Homo-oligomer: A and B are copies of this chain.
Amino acid sequence: MNTSVNTSGHLSFSDLSFPDWMRYVQAQTEVALDRLLPTADTTPAHLHQAMRYACLGGGKRIRPLLAFAAGELSAAPVTRLETVACAVECIHAYSLVHDDLPCMDDDVLRRGQPTCHVKFGEATALLVGDSLQSLAFELLAHPLSDDPQIQLRQTFLLAQASGSRGMAGGQAIDLDAVGKALNPQELEQMHTLKTGALIRAAVLLGALCGDPPDETALARLDRFAASAGLLFQVIDDMLDCTANTTTLGKTAGKDAAADKPTYVSLLGLAGARDLAEQLQTQAVSALKPFGEKARRLTELTDFFVRREF
């Protein structure tokens, strides 16, 4: 892999093929998480081991990839992108740990491994989620940056995206939706919150790491992220019913088993595929004014459609 860091600490990603760039960001995120999470022997050790278990050793790192890709638009320094990527990933990891708990989805498999509560117990898994959420904001607000205004904005955006009018709110709608017949608008609202809010935050936080984009550019990016987030979810729904558990690394078919409404149950596989194509077109067209700088975001959108896990 041929990467080069220029004198201002900005990474020149342009030489890398998309698969290499993706592997680079995933590896970079893993290393940064390993460094930013408390070590496994820090008191209380049991909790810190469980936090590390929940965050390290895999995952698609979709949100870090989006943050890094958006960072290209504003020539963002890698060090700040790493922090932002880890903060968003901590929120994502906490949501998975809590989502897998017996009182929620009651799932035993995640990333091909026993879920956090299966391995460490329910009470510890609860605290793992709680602590990962705090850690996300601790990372973002760490008083070492040279632009507190931007840091504060990033912190605010992530908090909004995580809370009851964002990701957690989407989870609540999801809970209420079990066994109900949602229409496409209601399903979209649920996913716009449940997965969309954090995906949008990842994109905006990444872009805000560099030369501050103007509000028009940010609004355009947000439109991109809204389409890309929904696209990601439509494909997720399709994979949930077409892929098997080994490939996914999590229990396949569980939405149907739990009688949860999905894009596939609502539109059928062909209808979901059509919707995915529409969303891809919308996402890519929102990126057009950014030109070549949006290359990684475009490639990621394409990857969302092609992925098989």
B133 with A175: CB separation less than 8 A: no
Q: Which residues of B contact A131 (CB under 8 A)?
A: 163-164, 168-169
A141 with B152: CB separation less than 8 A: yes
- Verify if A104 is at the interface (C-beta below 8 Å from B): yes
- Supposing A103-B123, A164-B38 touch, asked if A172 and B138 sit within 8 A by C-beta, the answer is no
| Distance between A161 CB and nearest chain B CB, rounded to angstroms | 8
- Verify if A283 is at the interface (C-beta below 8 Å from B): no
B47 with A168: CB separation less than 8 A: yes
Digitize A84-113: 1 where CB-to-B-CB distance is under 8 Å, 0 elsewhere. 000000000010001001111000000000
Q: Which residues of B contact A130 (CB under 8 A)?
A: 94, 98, 129-130, 133, 162, 168
Those of A125-150 within 8 Å (CB) of chain B:
126-127, 129-131, 133-135, 137-138, 141-143, 148-149
- Verify if A156 is at the interface (C-beta below 8 Å from B): yes
B122 with A134: CB separation less than 8 A: no
* Nearest B residue to A164, CB-CB: B131
- Verify if A176 is at the interface (C-beta below 8 Å from B): yes
Which residue of A46, A98, A164 has the most chain B CB atoms within 10 A of its CB atom?
A164
B137 with A168: CB separation less than 8 A: no
User: How far apart are the CA atoms of A98 and B98 in the complex, in Å?
Assistant: 12
Which residue of A156, A160, A176 has the most chain B CB atoms within 10 A of its CB atom?
A156
Q: Which residues of B contact A288 (CB under 8 A)?
A: none
Q: Which residues of B contact A122 (CB under 8 A)?
A: 103
Which of B126, B138, B171, B173 interacts with A103 by CB under 8 Å?
B126
* Nearest B residue to A189, CB-CB: B43
* Nearest B residue to A163, CB-CB: B134
Chain A residues touching B, range: 35 or more
- Verify if A29 is at the interface (C-beta below 8 Å from B): no
A127 with B47: CB separation less than 8 A: no
| Distance between A33 CB and nearest chain B CB, rounded to angstroms | 14
Q: Which residues of B contact A124 (CB under 8 A)?
A: 172, 175
* Nearest B residue to A150, CB-CB: B148
Q: Which residues of B contact A51 (CB under 8 A)?
A: 164
Across the A-B interface, the 10 shortest Cβ-Cβ residue pairs: A134-B163, A131-B164, A138-B159, A103-B122, A47-B172, A141-B156, A137-B159, A141-B155, A44-B172, A148-B148
Ordered by A's residue number, 29 sampled pairs between the chains whose C-beta atoms are within 8 Å are A38-B165, A42-B165, A43-B173, A43-B189, A44-B176, A46-B176, A47-B168, A47-B172, A51-B164, A101-B103, A104-B123, A127-B164, A127-B175, A130-B130, A131-B164, A133-B133, A134-B159, A134-B160, A134-B163, A134-B166, A134-B168, A135-B159, A137-B158, A137-B159, A138-B156, A143-B149, A143-B156, A151-B152, A155-B155
Using a CB–CB cutoff of 8 Å, the interface residues on chain A facing chain B are 38, 42-44, 46-48, 51, 94, 98, 101-104, 122-124, 126-127, 129-131, 133-135, 137-138, 141-143, 148-149, 151-153, 155-156, 158-160, 162-166, 168-169, 171-173, 175-176, 189
